[in-house]
Amino acid sequence: MDTGAMSPLMIGAGLFVLGVVMFTQEHKKKKRCNKRVNAVCCDVIAETNVTKGIGSVRGVKQYVPVYEIEMEEESVQVKGQIGRPYADDYTKGKRVVLCCNPDNYRDFYVPDEDFYKNGRIALLFTTGIACMALGIFLFFIS
């Protein structure tokens, strides 16, 4: 097989498998986190992820919500799992529903954020399939 066709096939297969793994993890989390609790966004934290390239350092700022939940007469703060590029995406005082693991309240997901997670997973699937299709196409034309 031509190496020009092999590279997109391997990259596509890797992205597709990564999408399957992420989908499986999300499905397991939704089964595990079955207790719905009301929460309030009490703070928004600015985080900077630093990526180092060749001769440069780049920081990407994202904003992550902190939720306050009432668990068995105890008030607990937990940090959100998805950051967004704009602080306006989160509003202090906004009420949301979290789905928590009854055995570990720090294991949770926000049903309102399913769109973002599912979008990322779908992007991996479709990019993987497109790369594999490109590899097959290159194989047959070479």
- pTM here? 0.69
- The predicted structure's pLDDT at residue 1: 54
pLDDT band of 127, cuts 50, 70, 90? very high
Highest mean pLDDT among 51-60, 82-91, 117-126: 117-126
Q: Is 34 helix (H, G, I), strand (E, B) or coil?
A: coil
Domain boundaries defined on the chain: 3-141
Count the Cβ atoms, other than its own, within 10 Å of residue 100.
Answer: 22
Whether 44 shows a pLDDT value over 70: the answer reads yes
**pLDDT, tens only, 2-35:** 667 788 889 999 999 998 998 999 899 999 999 9
Q: What is the mean pLDDT of the chain?
A: 84
- The predicted structure's pLDDT at residue 51: 67
Q: For the chain, report the end-to-end CA distance as a whole number of angstroms.
A: 9
Whether 87 shows a pLDDT value over 80: the answer reads no
Contact 133, 6 (CB under 8 A): no
pLDDT band of 130, cuts 50, 70, 90? very high
DSSP per-residue string spanning 53-113: ETTEEEEEEEEEEEEEEEETTEEEEEE-S--BS-GGGS-TT-EEEEEEETTEEEEEE-GGG
- The predicted structure's pLDDT at residue 115: 72
Name the strand (E) or helix (H) holding 127: helix 114-141
Cα distance between residue 65 and residue 87, in whole Å: 9
> Any idea which residue has 């993890």 for tokens?
25
* Dihedral sign from CA coordinates of 96, 79, 109, 62: positive
